[in-house]
Structure 1
């Protein structure tokens, strides 16, 4: 069923993180219903809205990193492509920023 995808450890950790976030957000919403607020995003958002926007941003960061990692070897004179863990950390940091300040 999932043979078409390259299931590496970073990919599995990324998707497991998403599942755990969704479970955590569901429990948090049941315990403490959210209210809309304005952050630096250009609209009023709830926690779920910010999670959705953050997950989209995290996915785009990972896709951009995968697209550019081969070129980074030439740009920076690297021996190997940079680790995908770098994009994982960057995307989770961006997600946390959007959840907190967005």
Structure 2
């Protein structure tokens, strides 16, 4: 069980799901307010906002799994808050995933 302790409900997990809910709410509002026609990007297939969101979420999952496999989820810093809050290296994977999502939404 110690090997999967990092899978617990943590602040990064809560932030991820909060941002995911906000993204879905925003995309629903955009779909109602600004209906979209399919767009052909670098994949040379027609995609919608939902398709690009799905591609970016799958890509984020792959990036995080590769990060955990090659780098690990260990602490990279400790903030001096209370007893000290540790920052996981997964935050770097999250930043990479966000940048990748922006690239996907702009080019796919």
Q: How does 1:83-98 map to 2 (within 5 A)?
A: 83-98=89-104
In structure 2, list runs of 5 or more residues that go unmatched: 1-6, 77-87
- Counterpart Cα distance in 1 of 2:8 and 2:59: 21
Q: Give the TM-score, by structure 1 length.
A: 0.78
2:37 pairs with 1:35: yes
Larger strand fraction of residues = 2
Identify the residue that residue 107 of structure 2 maps to in structure 1.
101
**Can you list the C-alpha shifts for 1:48-81, whole angstroms capped at 9, x where unaligned?**
11111111111111111112223xxxxxxx9xxx
Q: Residues 10 and 88 of structure 1 are in contact (CA less than 8 Å); yes or no, is this contact kept in structure 2?
A: no
Q: Which has the higher contact order (CA 8 A, sep 6+)?
A: 1
Q: TM-score, normalised by structure 2?
A: 0.74
User: What is the count of residue pairs matched by the alignment?
Assistant: 91
Unpaired stretches in structure 1, ≥5 consecutive residues: 71-77
Cα root mean square deviation, aligned: 2.3
